[in-house]
Amino acid sequence: MLVLRALGLRALSALAALLVGLPAAAAADKAALFGIELAEPGTIGPRPLKPQDAKRLALASEALRREVVARGLDPVDLGPQAAAIRRDAPLYKCEGCAETIAKAAGAALVVYGYVQRSAPQVLNLTITITEAESGKVLRGGQVVIQGDTDDTWLHGVRSLVKNRLFAEPLPNRS
């Protein structure tokens, strides 16, 4: 117990990072947490969101934020980057713009994701964590959401965070 007090908060963050598989520096650094976006294959240009999709994207984004913060990452304020985020959206296919925005906001890590509708009741949720400086993917995963409800979207986010983003690496798979 005395040893833990002597380590200090920063060292404990580094230790926690080692336990969850992220680089030690990452846990002590800030993260840019972008909202989850909707990917609609076959559409050209932005399309207004259906109200239920907008609601579920907001719920899923907030759930992702809570889950990531609960695991020790410290979110940066992306408010000053709002114009760049709007300009470069969708971030999941802008090839490095999320990392550029994150660096401008003072973040070391980037967390972003998207939902793609495969069928009316089948969706794919993908979330990625990258290094802002290099763009290197640190963790990522995908989960199939069966059922287009608030609960299934939230379950998908929690499952992906727990089992892929912050799970220990699988032997011979990482």
Of 169, 34, 40, the closest CA to residue 113 belongs to 34
| Residue 18 pLDDT level (bands cut at 50, 70, 90) | very low
Collapsing DSSP to helix, strand or coil, 128 comes out as: strand
Assigned domain for 14 exists? no
Give phi and psi for 107, each to the nearest 5: -95, 150
Are β-strands 30-33 and 37-39 bridged in parallel, bridged antiparallel, or unpaired? unpaired
- pLDDT computed for residue 55 by the predictor: 96
Assigned domain for 126 exists? yes
Assigned domain for 55 exists? yes
Domain of 136, in residue numbers: 29-165
How much is the mean pLDDT over the chain?
Answer: 81
Assigned domain for 2 exists? no
Neighbours of 2 (CB within 10 A): 6
Assigned domain for 71 exists? yes
Assigned domain for 48 exists? yes
The number of folded domains in the chain is 1
Assigned domain for 8 exists? no
Structure-model confidence comparison of residues 57 and 94, the more confident one: 57
Omega into 90 within 30° of 0, i.e. cis? Answer: yes
Is residue 141 within 8 Å of 164, Cβ to Cβ?
Answer: yes
Distance CA 55, CA 127 (A): 18
Assigned domain for 64 exists? yes
- pLDDT computed for residue 169 by the predictor: 56
| % of the chain surpassing 70 pLDDT | 77
Is residue 94 within 8 Å of 88, Cβ to Cβ?
Answer: yes
- pLDDT computed for residue 43 by the predictor: 64
pLDDT digits (tens, 9 = 90+) for 19-47: 345 444 444 479 999 999 998 776 666 67
Q: Please report, for the domain that includes residue 61, its CATH number.
A: 3.40.50.10610
Q: State the sign of the Cα–Cα–Cα–Cα dihedral 89, 36, 45, 143.
A: positive
Q: Taking the model in full, what pTM does it have? A: 0.77
